[in-house]
Amino acid sequence: MGAPNLSIVYLLSGEFMVVIAIAFAVGMPIAYVLNSFWLENLAYHTSVGAGTFITTVIIMLIMFAVIVLSQIGRALRAKPGETLKAE
């Protein structure tokens, strides 16, 4: 209803970025410990490096961009008058 597009993008994506940051902060240490323990018991020992976690973050951000930004695009193209009329 008259809000600039950048404002809508910031409001909708900001909440999801907080959730992704919390998931990363909680999940990565747990994943590191569990993977290190599991990989130590293999016949061909290997270690978990920083590249694995960097790749994970990149994949998470790509998924965020595809899923959330497509929904934001749908919200930006919506006509408020027709939405209110339908409800």
Dist. CA 1–CA 83, nearest whole Å? 11
pLDDT at residue 1 is higher than 60: no
Q: Which pLDDT score, from 0 to 100, does residue 2 have? A: 64
pLDDT at residue 20 is higher than 90: no
Could you read off the pLDDT of 22-80 as tens digits, one per residue?
988 898 899 889 988 888 888 887 778 888 888 988 998 898 888 888 887 787 777 76
| Cβ partners under 8 Å of residue 57, min gap 6 | 24
pLDDT at residue 85 is higher than 80: no
Residue 9: pLDDT band by 50, 70, 90 thresholds?
A: confident
